[in-house]
A and B are shown apart, each in its own frame.
Chain A
Amino acid sequence: MIKTFLWELSRRKMFTLWWSIGVSVLVSITILSFLAIKDEAAQLNQALSGITDTAGSFLGGSDLFSPIGYLNSQIYFILLPILVIIMTVNLASSLMSKDESDLTVELVLSRPVSRNHLMFGKLLAWFTILFTVFVVSYGVAAVCVKIVDMPINQWNLLLTHAISFIFSASFGLIAFALTAVSRFTRRIAGVIAIVFSLGGYVISSLSGFVDGFKFIAKLLPYHYYDTVQMLSGKVDLGLVIYLVGITAVALVAMSVGYSRRDIG
């Protein structure tokens, strides 16, 4: 498992590097831009006080310019999750299905390596790459928050950054599990995971106004993803239950499914 893990990490050095740089640059530019509006935050919020609830729900709330409102609306509510979902879904489906579709997985499986060791080695590589991007981007975010002198508790920032990554990674885990338990191609698994995540965002955002969506929204993880609460140091219990549940289901499904199905 460790050898597969190291092999996959080494093959994806450039992927890790570029995603770390890309996410960090976007986060830093967004936070540093707060300097431009910092002194007019109250007026800007007042000017936008007439914003409709529908528009507000798509942006993560009606407070867009206070330090917490800014980080919530500009980074943690939608920008960072979308970036990380794209990265993690792409990485997960690539790790599992690319080697299978081009048959290079047969080379490894012709050696004395169990399927589960192979799969968990890849999963560990996936997690490590994600963790690296998280650490680098959090470091950059923490420094930038200091630079613009945002009155944000660093612990709450770390909590929000981490939960944002974990929440986004859950969709990558779904893509990973889909490609492990079935012969879904990289593209199909990716589309399913992204539709589930972004569809959840749209339905949750509309659920306050469309009665038909209210019940469905409660079944979707985005409903429990409240970054304003997280930036204040609280995490919704529903989100914790979703994250633990999806992780457990995915791990069991992939270890049972991958060891039993036809490969290639």
Chain B
Amino acid sequence: MASAIVLDKLTKYYPGSKAPAINQLSISIKSGEVYGFLGSNGAGKSTTIRLILDFIRPSSGRITVQGMDSVADSVAIRRHIGYLAGDVALPKRVTGRQLLHHLASLSGGIDLDYLGKLEKDFQAQLDKRIGTLSKGNRQKIGLIQALMWQPNVSVLDDPTSGLDPLMQEQFYSAISDAKKRGAAIFLSSHSFSEVERICDHIGIIRAGELVYEGTVASVAAKRMPNWQVTVSSKADAATLKKSKSLKVSNLSDLSLTVCPVASISSALLALSKVEIKSMTIKQDNLEDEFMSFYNQEGQK
């Protein structure tokens, strides 16, 4: 399938800064693919997105969207893009409906039935002044304006920020529909769990550089479980600590947190050599796990 978005050795220096905000970033996203872009604050996610939309210009490198150059053909490209900014900024004195109709008039109109469907699905309050709405309700308007075009390419910066779980589900459903339609979706997020759920590929950015890229499945395979075990004696605890197959930390003398170093099989073999009184799988916090992975990859 053809690439909908291609970032080719993209570099961006901000004026007065010696370090690049984005350094030699190359990413390719195919039509019908959801690409999750992960990174901590200041890693370069929003800069990348703003380069794609041509709000800012690259210092070097090139972006193409649906085969068109992001700078030379920026107006034509934006006929195909739905965009949601991180921490979406909307004019406060107008209603959501007035804003959406204004944006629609700039784009040559929209499918009003689809707008009605989005309004209903997201339970959006389009007839109140935006300034009177909560963050979550403003985010819904932001999402509707990004999705109402039924675009071929969606660029979404932290799209579920401020949404309650019910609305997050609506958003995931809308993304699923867009994917079935063959749209390419570039989505930045802080949430590993969200990316794991809806994305096909992920890229992890750190200090402006892509430190990992792969499928979500390959990232999941890298994850090792954590077990909380209680052993019957201090000698058993000492045995586990000496094992090269395990990373062990003490909760108390006999209660330990155990994590495989290389493989689960070798870790289980090491555990089988001691008497275990109880064993539970510790539920990982996915966000912590992502950050651990992120830091680890970044140090390479």
Query: What is the interface of chain A, defined by CB distance below 8 A to chain B?
Result: 3-4, 7, 11, 99, 102-104, 106-114, 260, 262-264
Name which of B2-10, B23-31, B81-89, B184-192 contacts chain A.
B81-89
- Interface residues in B56-94 (C-beta closer than 8 Å to A): 56-57, 74-76, 78-79, 81, 83, 85, 89-91, 93-94
For residue A260, which residue of chain B has the nearest CB?
B57
- Taking a contact as CB atoms under 8 Å apart, the answer to whether B103 and A107 are in contact is yes
Query: What is the interface of chain B, defined by CB distance below 8 A to chain A?
Result: 14, 50, 53-57, 74-76, 78-79, 81, 83, 85, 89-91, 93-94, 99, 102-103, 105-108, 145
> Which residues of the partner chain A approach B103 to less than 8 Å between Cβ atoms?
107-108, 111
Which of A3, A11, A102, A263 touches B106 (beta carbons < 8 Å)? A3
- Taking a contact as CB atoms under 8 Å apart, the answer to whether A111 and B107 are in contact is yes
> Which residues of the partner chain B approach A4 to less than 8 Å between Cβ atoms?
106
Interface centre among A3, A11, A104, A108 (most CB of B within 10 A): A104
Interface centre among B56, B76, B89, B105 (most CB of A within 10 A): B89
- Taking a contact as CB atoms under 8 Å apart, the answer to whether A3 and B102 are in contact is yes
- Taking a contact as CB atoms under 8 Å apart, the answer to whether B89 and A112 are in contact is no
> Which residues of the partner chain B approach A106 to less than 8 Å between Cβ atoms?
50, 53, 55, 83, 85, 89
- Taking a contact as CB atoms under 8 Å apart, the answer to whether A112 and B79 are in contact is yes
- Taking a contact as CB atoms under 8 Å apart, the answer to whether B55 and A262 are in contact is yes
For residue A99, which residue of chain B has the nearest CB?
B91
A262-B56, A263-B56, A264-B56 known; A110 vs B81 contact (CB < 8 Å): yes
For residue A3, which residue of chain B has the nearest CB?
B105
Instruction: Write 15 A-B pairs (CB below 8 A) sorted by A numbering.
Output: A11-B94, A103-B85, A103-B89, A104-B89, A106-B50, A106-B53, A106-B55, A106-B83, A106-B85, A107-B145, A112-B75, A112-B78, A113-B106, A263-B55, A264-B56
**Complex: A4 Cα to B106 Cα, angstroms:** 8
- Report, nearest first, the 8 A-B pairs whose CB atoms are least far apart: A110-B83, A103-B89, A262-B56, A111-B106, A112-B78, A112-B79, A263-B55, A104-B89
**Complex: A124 Cα to B102 Cα, angstroms:** 17
Could you list 19 further interchain pairs (A-B, Cβ under 8 angstroms) beyond the known A106-B53, A106-B85? A3-B102, A3-B106, A11-B91, A99-B91, A103-B85, A104-B90, A104-B91, A106-B50, A106-B55, A107-B85, A107-B89, A107-B90, A107-B103, A110-B83, A112-B75, A112-B78, A112-B107, A112-B108, A114-B74
